[in-house]
Amino acid sequence: MPEAKSARGLVQVTSHYQDGKRQESLVDRKHLAEVDRRPRRRRVTIAWDDAPTLVLIAVNPENTRSMEALPILIKSLQSVRGVVVAVEQNICDRCDINVPVVVPLLAHAVNSQPEKHRLLSTSMDNLSLTDSFKFNPLTKSKAAHEPSREIVRPDDVDLVMTLGGDGLILHVIQNLFPKAVPPFMPFNLGSMGFLTPFNFSDHQKDVSSVLTGQNNSVTMRMRLKCVIVRQTIGPNHTCSPTIHNFEDNALNDETREASVTEEHHVLNELVIDRGPAPYLSNLEVLCDNCPVTRVQADGIIVATPTGSTAYSLSSGGSMVHPSVPAILFTPICPHSLSFRPVLFPDYVTLEIKVPQDSRASAWVSFDGRHRMELMKGDKVVVTVSPWSVPTFSRADTTNDWFKSVSHCLRWNERVVQGQQYSN
């Protein structure tokens, strides 16, 4: 790795393994989310090379408690030397605060070719950096009604603090960080709070411990990369109504042309369902190009371990620790009673396709958003995303997870016999 530091500094990442060994790596702060994940790693800690300078505070404007906590947290952070606080545009529109505004990158910047951006190529043993395409961290706003407001690019954010619930974290990631994600410090001011281990009543102590590096334990939350491949009919071919079997449909058809149309990275789950159609979903599933099964159900959920306690759990899937490297495959109301949820290893490639002989199209959504129709012949290719979501832990990953499972889901709570009648 080059010795030169970027303008935003480096982060020292330490991986702790079950055999007691440790591995340390210096990573550009912007690319902490790209650190390689390993099955036998017990936990990850980070150390700031330089203290974070740009902190984004994300708030749900419809949440009264969050809006009341916002000025308190801003004042607390502004008292720290060298820290610049920023918020989203919709928050500035609702309250009178004079701080920089974070705006999403333009579509062409987000989807540009990899060589135009600083990338982190990971392997099992080393980390390497390539050349970078740098944005100006702070530029003056051109808006006439806000002449003094500064505009901040998401790429320049060092740390994100959220005042809300789990949905707010998904909102910020989807809107501002479609790929590389900075570390998150989530405060529990929402309705669920499964991913928010920090209590705002202790914000001064917790914020200080994170900024100074006293609390350096993070959870690397896996995401899924979902690529939609649309299939078009070649110019010299006409559709035939002949019904093909599953193995025939799984083979490449030279008369059809495939084109990649969209790419999404999900933290919770990908859902493919029947939509408004009165028929069951008819989907073909391949794993590493090998036919696995044909789905006859209301739909299918492909979830991450983080998403295992969301929609997948409601559909009968298992709860999975966020550090387990697995992809959950959970059917929604399957027609076959033997169709049970399964887990795939995180290195496989899943393909879910709407076959040509399906009675209707299917509908797909990504973390509950960007819902769109899948026509016959279209498919979704699912792999593990190279960009995880690093979230700070209050204690450690396992402790925080079991507390959330017990507090939010009341897992395995029962009345002890004899005590319900005692005074």
Strand partners, 122: 127
Intra-chain end-to-end CA distance of the chain, in Å: 66
Q: Which of 156, 158, 166, 206 is catalytic?
A: 166
Q: Within 10 Å of residue 217's Cβ, how many Cβ atoms?
A: 17
Please report where in the chains the tokens 């570390």 appear, as a residue: 183
Tokens of 385: 């995303």
> For 83, what's the count of Cα atoms within 13 Å in the CB-facing half-sphere?
23
Give Rg (Cα) of the chain: 23
Asked if 118 and 30 touch (Cβ cutoff 8 Å), the reply is: yes
Angle between helices 64-78 and 203-212 (to 10 degrees): 50
Catalytic-residue membership of 156: no
In 222-354, beta strands by DSSP E = 224-233, 256-266, 269-273, 281-287, 290-303, 326-334, 342-345, 350-353
- Residue 96 CB coordination number (10 Å): 6
Beta strands in 193-255 (DSSP E): 217-221, 224-233
Task: Check residue 275 and give left, alpha or beta (phi > 0: left; psi -120 to 50: alpha).
Answer: left
Angstrom distances, CA of residue 297 to CA of 145, 246, 336, 349: 53, 16, 8, 22
The set of catalytic residues is 166
